[in-house]
Structures are given as C-alpha cells and as structure tokens.
Chain A
Amino acid sequence: NAGVTQTPKFRILKIGQSMTLQCTQDMNHNYMYWYRQDPGMGLKLIYYSVGAGITDKGEVPNGYNVSRSTTEDFPLRLELAAPSQTSVYFCASSPPTGAVGELFFGEGSRLTVL
C-alpha cells in the first residue's frame, strides 16, 4: 500500500530558485495538508485542501503556493527560495469524516536552501 508519497526526498536549492514538492495519495482522501517541521519547533501547517479545486492558507503560507486539480495530488510550490525555507516538509491526508485528526503522513522531503 503506497499511502502518501512525496518526491523528492532530498533537495538542495540556491537562494532565489523555485521548485515544486510533489505529493500524491492513493486512499481517496478528500483532505490534504502540507506541514513543515523545523528543528525543535514541531510541525506547522502551510496550506491545506478540502477537495479538488479548494485550497486555503494555514499558519505559515508566505513564500508558498499550492494547487489541487485532482483528489490524488497536492503539489507545493516554493517561489524564490530563501534560507528560512530550509526545513523538512510533510504532506498528509485524511478522510473527511470519522477519523477526526487522524492524518496519514508521507515520509517527508528535506529541503536545504543555500
């Protein structure tokens, strides 16, 4: 079972470059999320989506953009990368009802901006 798949797992960017972190899930979950994990800081929500075509900002959206054209895919785009965006990024998904707050996470994408 694939679950939530993120690519790439590691990436080094130069300041000012752009890139897209890919996320796909095969559980037919309506809800998808992007979190970032900074050392000693826990996870913070960047963007989330409640279904195809619907996205909204989380706690730390600046410098990022998302789109949700299908139920399966939720890519995160970084425009003009900055050192402050060095972090581990996690994509997650959840069903819309029942398992409140039970998120299924990908393995993370470690991004370094130099």
Chain B
Amino acid sequence: AQKVTQAQTEISVVEKEDVTLDCVYETRDTTYYLFWYKQPPSGELVFLIRRNSFDEQNERSGRYSWNFQKSTSSFNFTITASQVVDSAVYFCALRINAGGTSYGKLTFGQGTILTVHP
C-alpha cells in the first residue's frame, strides 16, 4: 500500500520569508508519480506540479521550487519570498503506475496549512 506523510500540520510565516513544506512517501512500486496541490480558501484543489519517479531533477517555477530525492523518499516544496496569497492548504500526493484506470487514483497526504502574515 502507498502512503504519503506531511508531518507539518501548520506553518506560519511572515511575508517575504522562505518556507519549505515537507513530503515523505512510501511505495513498493518503482514507477510512480508525485504531485503537489494547493487548496486556497475558496476550497477547490489546484494542481501545481507532477514529477515521475525517473526524473529526479529539481524544478523551479517562479517563486516555487521542488526538491525530489528518491534516496530519502521525499518530495519537498519551497516557496521563496512568501506572499499573503500563498496562504492555503498544500497537499502532496502519490500515484502508482498501475495502468490506465489509475490516472486519478491518488494517495494524498494529510495536508499542511500555510499561513503567511503581512
């Protein structure tokens, strides 16, 4: 069975601080995908990024960056120079490569509530 753990339940920072959200996953499969989703106060989850298990390159998109390390089974998410609009719940998720019908069968972590104060 797969498992995703986000040990940080809540994080509070002041605007312009950098913040890292941790994600640790467990799976016996060698092929899998990892995701981060953002849930703003409006409620709907918004896709941020997807990585597959064969691509350990770190990725950056504007103020967002992701650090994928298979050796430690971690997929951490860093927000640089945080802004109030970054306040949301962030979910890490895992999907094993079990065929076509598994496309949306994600295993989610518990979520990290990020609050950015002005």
A52 → chain B closest CB, angstroms:
15
Whether the Cβ atoms of A101 and B50 lie closer than 8 Å is yes
Q: Is B104 an interface residue (CB 8 A)?
A: yes
- Determine the main DSSP class of A at the interface with B: strand
Q: Which residues of chain B have C-beta atoms less than 8 A from A102's C-beta?
A: 35, 47, 50
Whether the Cβ atoms of B44 and A105 lie closer than 8 Å is yes
Q: Is B108 an interface residue (CB 8 A)?
A: yes
Whether the Cβ atoms of A103 and B104 lie closer than 8 Å is yes
Interface residue tally for chain B (C-beta within 8 Å): 26
The count of A-to-B residue pairs whose CB atoms sit within 8 angstroms is: 70
Residue on A with the closest CB to B48? A102
Whether the Cβ atoms of A100 and B95 lie closer than 8 Å is yes
Q: Is A114 an interface residue (CB 8 A)?
A: no
B55 → chain A closest CB, angstroms:
13
Residue on A with the closest CB to B91? A42
Interface residues of A (CB under 8 A from B): 4, 31, 33, 40-45, 48, 50, 56, 58, 88, 90, 92, 94, 96, 99-108
**Can you add 11 more A-B contacts, CB < 8 Å, to A43-B91, A94-B104?**
A4-B44, A43-B108, A44-B108, A48-B104, A58-B105, A88-B43, A101-B33, A101-B95, A103-B47, A104-B47, A107-B43
